Amino acid sequence: MTNGRVPVRDGELFFDERGAGHPLVLLHGGSLDHRMWDGQVGPFVRAGYRVIRYDARGHGQSSTPTSDFAAYDDLAQLLAGLDIARASLVGLSYGARTAVDFALAHPNTVEMMVLASPGVSGMQFTDPAILALMQHQAEAAQNRDAAAYVEYFLRAWVDGPHRTPDAVDPQVRERCRQMARGVVDAHASGSGALRELGALERLGELSTPLLVLVGDLDSNDIHAVAGRIEAEAQFAASAVVPGTGHTLAMEQPAAFNAAVLTFLERARLAR
């Protein structure tokens, strides 16, 4: 096991690396950190992968943003710092959003991708329940009410629009609460804009084999984006994980891990 920090423009990224074999990079969701992948690291290492998970800028133990930045550029600098020329990517939500931008900017660096609960740069939210919760979250931020800000995040992206909080595994909810509160406490002072590529209108350029995974209880907006990726990317498959929402890797780790490992093995054999 190795962990450390890799310098990026105006900051550094914390990473955790385990195992040997084909590089497999795990990209966490927004307001979470590398620990969301605790249920994946062991199975992926045992399957023969060199597993790298890291905290995105403005999350976990990585630097707080102080200027405009691009998450996909940060990923490129991380891979260069770890001497990785080519890797497969597994991203959830914001992590999937970063993975797609990275694949567009560096297509020859990506071997395969798994996009779970995918966001995509350029998407617009239309789900009324999510929009309402995002508005409440923005008001909590303006009022500097960290507890309320985190709770509205949980309501939107852990519970989701189709469940009440008591319908969600309390351990998953608490893990997400702790990570999100850590992001608020450590990085609320951040400044600078996130630069992205507007990938929603460029999905047809994605040429790497990819799998889209979405929970059946996730927001309609996420299902719509997942459908567009499957329809427009050149080599895409998709699957729905029943009984789970946006944080499906944490809620249903066994099903998630099996789907990811089966896809990676089949895609590698087909190449």
pLDDT score, position 269? 86
pLDDT score, position 16? 98
pLDDT score, position 249? 99
Comparing CA positions, the residue from 26, 38, 20 lying closest to residue 176 is 38
Q: Is residue 97 domain-shared with residue 42, that is, in the same domain?
A: yes
Q: Is residue 174 domain-shared with residue 150, that is, in the same domain?
A: yes
pLDDT score, position 27? 99
Q: Is residue 107 domain-shared with residue 134, that is, in the same domain?
A: no
Q: Which residue among 146, 161, 187 closes a domain?
A: 187
The domain that holds 241 is classified in CATH as: 3.40.50.1820
Which pairing describes strands 110-116 and 2-8: parallel, antiparallel, or unpaired? unpaired
Backbone dihedral region of 208: left (phi > 0), alpha (psi from -120 to 50 degrees) or beta?
Answer: beta
Which residues lie closer than 8 Å to 217 by C-beta, 6 or more apart?
Answer: 160, 162, 163, 243, 244, 245
Q: Is residue 32 domain-shared with residue 137, that is, in the same domain?
A: no
Q: Is residue 154 domain-shared with residue 256, that is, in the same domain?
A: no
pLDDT score, position 271? 73
Between helix 146-154 and helix 170-187 the angle, nearest 10°, is: 140
Q: Is residue 236 domain-shared with residue 106, that is, in the same domain?
A: yes
Q: Which residue among 147, 167, 187 closes a domain?
A: 187
pLDDT score, position 255? 97
What is the distance between the alpha carbons of residues 58 and 84, in angstroms, rounded to a whole number? 23
DSSP H or E stretch at residue 154: helix 146-154
Q: Is residue 112 domain-shared with residue 150, that is, in the same domain?
A: no
pLDDT along the chain (271 residues), means of 10: 94 98 98 99 98 99 97 98 98 99 98 98 97 97 96 98 97 99 96 95 97 98 98 97 98 98 93 73
Q: Whole domain around residue 212: which residue ranges?
A: 2-124+191-270
pLDDT score, position 250? 99
Q: Is residue 139 domain-shared with residue 60, that is, in the same domain?
A: no
pLDDT score, position 225? 98
How many other CB atoms are found less than 10 A from the CB of residue 130?
20
Total domain count, the chain: 2
pLDDT score, position 1? 76
